């Protein structure tokens, strides 16, 4: 069975080639192409049975490739590779005869093998029985659990929105699916480190979770469980009615049993985001959107929580506006360089986060990165890199933070470092204030005596302290600040050299040029 891979990303092509043992499974990779045009040439030359193609590519898209080969009456069957935001293109590809699609984020060996083997069966069946091609395009597959999976993904993502098409698929797949009181819930694992236990086969845990959730769901409802993104499991269902139990209580019983079963058999805790109730399956995409919005709030709640969309939808956006205002205060304090003000602003920011119930993980992740980069700039500006206020480990920790409390601990740790390294260390503080004074007054006629007088210290003590703490003398730092600002002005303004010299504290243009060349290696004019 001959296979052709068409994708403009070399890493994707390499990944697909190395993902499964093609030859052992009876497949032959006849070639790979980086765009649709080259793929078209290779398809005509090698007559592949199955083509895996990306949708968005330069020169010729995957959709154009499918259309052209269909016009040629080429017998190949197509698997479309797509990103999450390519769904409109996926829909068009399916209309033009693609057999199936795979989101690149969920490209797993077992799933790809299943699809390829199903297609092999379809190709052989088509060749042996000479099935009418129009019917083959409409029903090209043997309808197994894999195709049910795809049908429900289509519903969730809005690829299928036509009622007649939905009804036809339900009939063909022989689904027991109630056309009323449709809901969606999303299950996410609280502690993702559990996947580490599965080594190179984390998908085994995913399959186990899907099977358990599906087994519990079948006792309460008609529905199906599917995974679109890794480590996220979506149930679409209609609760069966019962006289003795209200729907709300039965839903609570369902989600409780899901959590209990997962804890019992897999030793894992999960949160469940739950949509509102909807009248029929035409609203499945909306239900999925609501469940997604609900599960995004899991990190501000205790582990093992049910999160209803109706509840989070009532929360005020005022909290987010307050957070934004506090963040601006932190940014302003760092710009001004006042240590006490920085410490206090960050403390208020942390308190605001602690009391807020309307913050998403994505928002706090973005804020944490912003804080890190602001502090990085602050540390570099005042040459505090040796004080361990921020470090690479703190940056890496941001991606691992999964709950609101993780973000609070991270920010408290940062504020504690400021307190210990700058507020409580008297000598460090004096050096910092010296730098701060120079940064504000570098345009003036600065001298060691003038700064020492400002700090109410002797010139000898300040000189020795500064040298000990920074490794450079007082005059070298003044020169560094002035040259750095001069370089900025040379690149960003049309000021004359003499004007720039005065702007950075040098009354004599020629002396400024001499100092600049000594420190930069070239004249101001040449640098510009």
Predicted local distance difference test score (pLDDT) of residue 125: 66
Give the model confidence (pLDDT) of 103-114 as tens digits.
Answer: 776 677 777 887
- Tell me what the mean pLDDT of segment 360-382 comes to: 81
Residue with the larger pLDDT of the pair 456 and 127: 456
- Tell me what the mean pLDDT of segment 207-218 comes to: 87
Say what angle helices 474-492 and 448-455 make with each other, to 10 degrees.
Answer: 110
CATH level 2 (architecture), domain 2-136: 3-Layer(aba) Sandwich (3.40)
End-to-end alpha carbon distance in the chain:
63
Predicted local distance difference test score (pLDDT) of residue 13: 79
Options 3.50.50.60, 3.40.50.10790, 3.30.70.270, 3.30.450.40; which CATH number does 145-316 get?
A: 3.30.70.270
Give the model confidence (pLDDT) of 220-249 as tens digits.
Answer: 888 888 887 778 899 999 888 776 667 678
**Residue 429, class by beta-carbon neighbours within 10 Å (0-12 exposed, 13-18 middle, 19+ buried)?**
middle
Give the model confidence (pLDDT) of 394-443 as tens digits.
Answer: 888 888 887 888 889 999 999 888 888 776 555 566 777 777 788 878 88
Which of 183-187, 226-230, 280-284 is modeled with the greatest confidence? 183-187
Q: Where are the domains of the chain?
A: 2-136, 145-316, 323-424, 428-526
pLDDT band at 319, cuts 50/70/90?
A: low
Lowest mean pLDDT among 127-141, 175-189, 238-252, 428-442: 127-141
Task: Tell which phi-psi region holds residue 307, choosing left (phi > 0), alpha (psi between -120 and 50) or beta.
Answer: beta
**Spelled out in words, what is the top-level CATH class assigned to the domain 428-526?**
mainly alpha
Which tokens belong to 322? 């307050």
- Tell me what the mean pLDDT of segment 134-158 comes to: 62
Same CATH topology for 145-316 and 428-526: the answer is no
Among 94, 97, 78, smallest CA distance to 86 is for 94
On average, the pLDDT of the chain sits at 80
Sorted by sequence, the CB contacts under 8 Å of residue 376 that are 6+ apart come out as 390
**CA–CA distance from 189 to each of 151, 195, 313, 372, 427 (Å)?**
25, 10, 23, 28, 48
């Amino acid at each position: 069975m001959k296979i052709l891979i068409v994708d403009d990303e070399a890493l994707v092509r390499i990944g697909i080639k190395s993902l499964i043992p093609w030859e052992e499974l009876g497949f032959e990779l006849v070639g790979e192409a980086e765009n649709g045009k080259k793929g078209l040439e290779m398809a005509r030359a090698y007559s592949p049975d199955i083509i895996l193609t990306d949708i968005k590519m330069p020169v010729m898209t995957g959709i154009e490739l499918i259309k052209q080969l269909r016009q040629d009456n080429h017998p190949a069957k197509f698997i479309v590779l797509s990103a999450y935001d390519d769904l409109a293109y996926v829909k068009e590809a399916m209309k033009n005869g693609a057999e199936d699609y795979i989101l690149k984020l969920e490209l797993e060996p077992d799933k790809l093998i299943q699809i390829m083997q199903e297609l092999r069966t379809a190709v052989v069946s088509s060749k042996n029985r000479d099935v009418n091609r129009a019917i083959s395009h409409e029903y090209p597959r043997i309808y197994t659990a894999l195709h049910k999976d795809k049908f429900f993904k289509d519903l969730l993502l809005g690829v299928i929105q036509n009622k007649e098409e939905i009804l036809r698929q339900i009939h063909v797949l022989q689904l027991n699916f109630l056309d009323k009181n449709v809901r969606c819930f999303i299950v996410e694992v609280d502690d993702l480190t559990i996947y580490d236990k599965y080594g190179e086969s984390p998908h085994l845990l995913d399959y186990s979770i899907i099977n358990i959730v599906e087994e519990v769901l079948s006792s309460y409802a008609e529905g199906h469980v599917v995974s679109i993104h890794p480590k996220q499991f979506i149930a679409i269902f209609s609760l069966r009615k019962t006289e003795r139990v209200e729907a709300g209580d039965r839903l609570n019983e369902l989600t409780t049993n899901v959590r209990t079963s997962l804890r019992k058999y897999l030793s894992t805790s999960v949160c469940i985001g739950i949509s509102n109730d909807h009248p029929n399956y035409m609203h499945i995409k909306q239900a999925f959107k609501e469940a997604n919005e609900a599960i995004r709030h899991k990190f501000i709640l205790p582990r093992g929580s049910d999160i209803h969309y109706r509840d989070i939808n009532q929360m005020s956006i005022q909290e987010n506006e307050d957070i934004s205002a506090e963040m601006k205060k932190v940014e302003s304090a760092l710009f001004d360089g006042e240590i006490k003000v920085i410490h206090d602003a960050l403390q208020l920011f942390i308190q605001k986060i602690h009391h807020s119930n309307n913050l998403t993980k994505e928002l706090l992740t973005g804020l944490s990165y912003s804080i890190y980069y602001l502090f990085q700039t602050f540390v570099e500006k005042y040459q505090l890199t040796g004080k361990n206020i921020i470090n690479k480990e703190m940056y890496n920790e941001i991606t691992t933070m999964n709950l609101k409390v993780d973000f609070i601990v991270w920010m408290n740790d940062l504020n504690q470092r400021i307190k210990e390294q700058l507020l409580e260390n008297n000598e460090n503080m004096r050096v910092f204030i010296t730098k701060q004074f120079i940064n504000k007054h570098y345009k003036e006629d600065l001298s060691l005596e003038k700064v020492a007088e400002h700090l109410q210290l002797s010139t000898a003590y300040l000189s020795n302290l500064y040298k000990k703490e920074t490794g450079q003398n007082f005059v070298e730092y003044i020169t560094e600040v002035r040259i750095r600002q001069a370089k900025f002005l040379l690149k960003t303004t049309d000021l004359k050299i003499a004007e720039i010299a005065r702007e950075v504290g040098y009354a004599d243009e020629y002396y400024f040029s001499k100092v600049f060349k000594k420190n930069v290696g070239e004249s101001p004019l040449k640098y510009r």
